[in-house]
A and B are shown apart, each in its own frame.
Chain A
């Protein structure tokens, strides 16, 4: 009886998995079709006339006359640079908040940062745009990178970790003559590698996947990120060129799905950590 039940549960899980995976399988399948077949309404999972034209044109920039490769490079660089900045400044701040008792205004800053986690993004979106506009930074890389560095999630995550770090090790290092920078760089940071990886994945995916801010913060085609670019295409005149659009989304999805699958364990940890606060 137990076995029939397990079998039934597994069957149900498979049916639901089809719902989750089918759109992705269909995206990949369609990306190998020409526009005519993509619009034919036939349910061919294997294209009748498979073609890599959509990808070839995507790479050489002929696809819908947009620089997809440039967009991918924009997204990757903005994501990587933003992530590196977040890792550095968040870990330094978390170290100071958790371990440096003589930090001025420590408690006030800590409550301020934690309270900021509650702030809905809609509150800062328009003024942030006006701020970057006043600084003449709209349509530049700083506009795509800097707003992501203000979030307190990473500070909070690392603060929790550093707070529970054993005091004896730090004390021993201090007796050996290590200063704050050495304790931070040689003792605390190496101990936090796994949680830093978690934060890195979380931050990278957040920046890479955001589309609303880049959509408004960029104005020229070559400054778009891939997600903002796709949003432009989807609301523009290419809505029905499904083969081409799907090649574009397949290219856009590859980096983030690779990061996601490789780092899934860490990603899951970050989510559950954020839930137990």
Chain B
């Protein structure tokens, strides 16, 4: 192949459009975000001054408003991550195994049923569940009333608000994890199970000694993607509980966007966003290192 200047230029033309989009709408915003976080930007004002690391220092200085909303939001988000991630993994795997245990003819049908909510927009999902959870006229309370249980405050009292958020998250997103698990389970060689059967292994042994070790890389992938997704939780508390009752479900991302769009302090909001992104990236890397380091054990 000739590598004349013209040829190299033609090659470059192919990548140019995407490179432009990438630079303008991904690379530049990241750098611009760092710049904003070092200034006292306000949403509607064109004047701003360099403030150095003040926005970052505020986040870590106990007693400041920013410190308060950042760490309270982070704690709420961390609780959500701790509750939801194990369920997203376990229920996802359980559904995948259930679908695989079904007669082959109806497998595809049930896979579609469990996966369907994933196709909905967050706002559609939220409106549907607002109606399901309505304390007076909602479907769930109407059903429970027939059993003599009345007036559960699904969205307005703890622990119900948490239960509702987790329930809707599972309903909406579990199909994604299930699909990946189904694919991983189907790739475990059938002869492993046959050999184990001949050796007299029971179902539990097959699951812990064959299935789990074989799907390990996929498990890691699900763990990391579910953690990142749960960290970025916004739609469910923003639309369903509005951060309530009180501030108990006010997650970090709500506080970041409120700081930017309600209080109009984009500078400090950007610093909050950057620290939040760093936390997410660090946790992903730690999970990756921890899990891939234990490979020898299994």
Contact = CB atoms under 8 A, between A and B. Distances in A.
Interface residues of B, number: 93
Contacts of A233: 127
A40 B137 contact: yes
Interface string A159-190: 00000000000000000000110001000000
A32 interface: no
A100 B8 CA distance: 9
Given A122-B253, A124-B33, A231-B126, A92 B28 contact: no
A104 to B, nearest CB: 6
A73 B235 CA distance: 23
**Majority SS of interface residues in chain A?**
helix
Contacts of A100: 11, 14
A147 B25 contact: yes
A179 B19 CA distance: 22
A69 interface: no
Interface stretch (B62-70, B111-119, B206-214, B290-298): B111-119
B212 to A, nearest CB: 17
Nearest to B231: A120
Interface of B: 1, 3, 7-8, 10-12, 14-15, 17-19, 21-22, 24-30, 32-33, 36, 41, 95, 98-99, 101-103, 106, 110, 112-117, 119-124, 126-132, 134, 136-139, 141-143, 145, 171, 176, 179-180, 183-184, 218, 221-222, 228, 231-232, 234-235, 238-239, 242, 253, 256-257, 260-261, 266, 269-270, 273-274, 276-277, 280-281, 284
A249 B119 contact: no
Contacts of B180: 271-272, 275
Interface string A134-169: 000000000000110111100100000000000000
A230 B171 contact: no
B166 to A, nearest CB: 14
22 contacts: A20-B113, A23-B129, A27-B131, A92-B15, A96-B14, A102-B11, A104-B12, A124-B30, A126-B33, A126-B256, A126-B266, A126-B270, A127-B28, A130-B41, A146-B21, A150-B24, A208-B121, A228-B123, A231-B239, A235-B238, A272-B179, A272-B180
Interface residues of A, number: 95
A90 B18 contact: yes
B132 A23 contact: yes
B19 A109 contact: yes
A216 interface: yes
